[in-house]
């Protein structure tokens, strides 16, 4: 039987969580790929202290720690998880506070994700569905979620971390509108890139960050102001809103701030 190709690039996030975030579950996930040449190249890239790429992984870990702290505080208040752009996020498997929650994930790379889990010999509790957020958030997706066991009446925490900036603002609005009308969202977590930092680029470092993404599939499409995030939540009836600047999360994670203090926001809302 011919082996399925492995998209090793998808291991960047669990590799960074394993190396910089001390995440044992991510470590288990990536250790099976150590003999892959592409994996070794990825290790060198992530281990490079050059500021043009280190900031990505430093920000991932800072956000992770911030989100995990929030989940531990509020996990008793919701009944199930919906993880948008789930990738290889292992929180639903690794966190004790989520062990009693059903978990569902949406991602455009469903087959690649499941292929990696299968090759690594690891099972995830998250039921992953194929979804292109630019075109697949519709009644068919909802029906597929329900078929997998998703309960539209249960209090649901939506996690959308590390991917909102890859799609348009129109698609973000549509996704939130659709889920708001069709499922019982009680808690919502999403991060955004700060418009005032990136449009236009505030300085040369920021310009180089954006330039490095040009021509790739990872070009950022959407940027928000602090006020726009508040308005987005209030439009959907959320009043308990907390917006964390990147610098706050980075300082709590590392005891120092080396990146743009306000380069991005991680936002939390409850209703």
Q: Which tokens is 145 given? A: 């979620």
Please give the C-alpha separations between residue 56 and each of 20, 67, 107, in angstroms, as whole numbers: 12, 17, 20
The pTM for the full model equals 0.91
Q: Judge contact between 109 and 8, C-beta under 8 A.
A: no
pLDDT tens figures, 174-216: 999 999 999 999 999 999 999 999 898 888 878 887 887 777 6
Please give the C-alpha separations between residue 116 and each of 26, 29, 48, 89, 128, in angstroms, as whole numbers: 12, 8, 24, 12, 13
Q: Which of 265, 257, 250, 134 is nearest to 198 (CA)?
A: 265
pLDDT at 146 (0 to 100) = 98
Look-up of token digits 């919701």: 78
pLDDT tens figures, 209-268: 788 777 766 788 999 999 999 999 999 999 899 999 999 999 999 899 988 899 899 999
Q: How confident is residue 18, by pLDDT bands cut at 50, 70 and 90?
A: confident
Cis peptide before 200 (omega within 30 of 0): yes
Strand 156-160 relative to strand 264-270, pairing: unpaired
First and final C-alpha spacing in the chain: 50
For the purposes of burial, counting CB atoms within 10 Å of the CB of 66, is it exposed (0-12), middle (13-18) or buried (19 or more)? buried
């Amino acid at each position: 039987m011919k082996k399925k190709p492995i998209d090793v690039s998808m291991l960047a996030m669990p590799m960074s969580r394993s190396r910089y975030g001390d995440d044992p579950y991510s470590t288990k996930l990536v250790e099976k790929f150590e003999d892959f040449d592409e994996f070794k190249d990825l290790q060198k890239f992530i281990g490079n202290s050059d500021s043009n790429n280190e900031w990505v992984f430093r920000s991932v870990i800072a956000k992770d720690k911030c989100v995990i702290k929030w989940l531990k505080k509020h996990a008793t208040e919701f009944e199930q998880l919906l993880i948008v752009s789930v990738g290889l996020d292992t929180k639903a498997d690794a966190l004790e506070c989520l062990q009693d929650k059903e978990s569902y994930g949406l991602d455009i790379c469903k087959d690649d994700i499941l292929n990696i889990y299968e090759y690594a010999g690891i099972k995830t509790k998250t039921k992953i569905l194929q979804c292109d957020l630019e075109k697949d958030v519709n009644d068919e997706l909802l029906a597929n979620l329900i078929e997998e066991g998703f309960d539209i009446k249960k209090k649901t925490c939506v996690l959308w971390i590390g991917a909102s900036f890859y799609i348009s603002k129109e698609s973000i609005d549509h996704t939130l509108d659709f889920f708001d009308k069709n499922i019982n969202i009680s808690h919502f977590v999403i991060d955004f890139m700060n418009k005032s930092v990136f449009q236009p680029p505030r300085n040369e470092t920021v310009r180089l960050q954006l330039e490095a993404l040009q021509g790739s599939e990872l070009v950022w499409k959407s940027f928000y102001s602090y006020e726009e995030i508040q308005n987005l939540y209030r439009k959907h009836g959320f009043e308990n809103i907390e917006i964390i600047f990147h610098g706050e999360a980075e300082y709590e994670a590392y005891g120092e701030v080396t990146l743009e203090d306000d380069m991005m926001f991680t936002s939390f809302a409850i209703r």
